[in-house]
Amino acid sequence: MKIGILSRGPKLYSTRRLVEAAKQRDHEVQVVNPLRCYMNITSQKPQIHYQGSELERFDAVIPRIGASVTFYATAVLRQFEMMGVYPLNESVAISRSRDKLRSLQLLSRKGIGLPVTGFANHADDIDDLLTMVGGAPLVIKLLEGTQGKGVVLAETKKAAESVIDAFSGLRANILIQEFIKEAGGADLRCLVIGDKVVAAMKRTAKEGEFRSNLHRGGSAELGKLTPMERQTAVRASNVMGLNLSGVDILRANHGPVVLEVNSSPGLEGIETATGKDIAGMIIEYIEKDAKYGRTRTKGKG
């Protein structure tokens, strides 16, 4: 097979591992920067050009799309889909998962456990909104934040009002969520491929921090999941329409709750914590699932 990897970072761990895994299985692989792609959008012969010439047709593409370039990179991925190229994750599914509010609404509609979450537009509604999510302490999140950035724990109502007022002054869209204290600063990252959790790690925040992201100094170890947690992770991934995802789960007193579904999960932390060849599993899945023109919008937009 000829596999394309849409990535701006050929030296990043995840991209390198996918290249290695593809080559080990005798596939031809090329890393393509989606921002350097440009398109001829036509009903007769849609094309993608890259660095001055037309790209050879891939059999499959693996999107490794950063949040900051979602709009343009998913447009490039849609062009590949129009050309009949199989995408590991489809453009619609990536866009769906990147919109935090939309993704939570979709998960809620399917009855998947979530932290109590509030969203409002007008400052006059903040008091009632804080009450609605259970009051302080609570978590305030920027809709556009990634890797724990733009996430604040407000321990008092006054602190929450100050943070919300600051974000509102910047015209930033925010979510307000209940703080799951019993999770103890730890969460579970479940790596889902197709309809199966293939690996899981438990991430624990460093002392004095409530965010467990590895980019913020958190530590990771092999995670052991309950059947309910496995089922929740797979359902959440399927609701987004993703073939590959990293589903972040908190252990609440009333059961597992989903924090986020990531469409481009990093491989370094989970491969290190579990000792599993996740990159190889991804390539194996593509070998079994990839077919020309197999592009479908899973679920509802």
Q: What is the model's pLDDT at position 54?
A: 92
How far is Cα 49 from Cα 182, in angstroms, rounded to an integer?
Answer: 51
pLDDT recorded at residue 43: 67
Nearest to 22 by CA among 265, 293, 279: 279
Give 214-239 pLDDT, tens digit per residue: 655 577 889 899 999 999 999 999 99
CATH for the stretch 2-96: 3.40.50.20
Model-level pTM greater than 0.85? yes
Identify the segments of the chain with pLDDT beneath 50.
298-301
Superfamily of domain covering 117-179: ATP-grasp fold, A domain (3.30.1490.20)
For 60-79, how does the pLDDT look when each residue is reduced to its tens digit (9 = 90+)?
999 999 888 999 999 999 99
Q: Which two tokens stand for residue 296?
A: 């479908």
Helices (H), the chain: 13-24, 70-82, 91-98, 100-109, 126-132, 157-169, 227-240, 268-274, 278-289
Name the strand (E) or helix (H) holding 290.
none
pLDDT in tens, 112-142: 999 998 887 665 677 888 888 888 888 888 8
| pLDDT at residue number 143 | 76
The conformational region for residue 134 under phi > 0 = left, psi -120 to 50 = alpha, else beta, is left
SS3 content of the chain, % helix, strand, coil (to 5): 35, 25, 35
Tell me if 85 sits within 8 A of 61, measured CB to CB. Answer: yes
Domain map (residue ranges) of the chain = 2-96, 117-179, 182-287
| CATH of the structural domain 182-287, one choice from 3.40.50.1970, 3.40.50.2300, 3.30.470.20, 3.40.50.300 | 3.30.470.20
User: Using omega within 30 degrees of 0 as the cis cutoff, is the peptide bond preceding 115 cis?
Assistant: no
Separation of CA 230 from chain center? 17
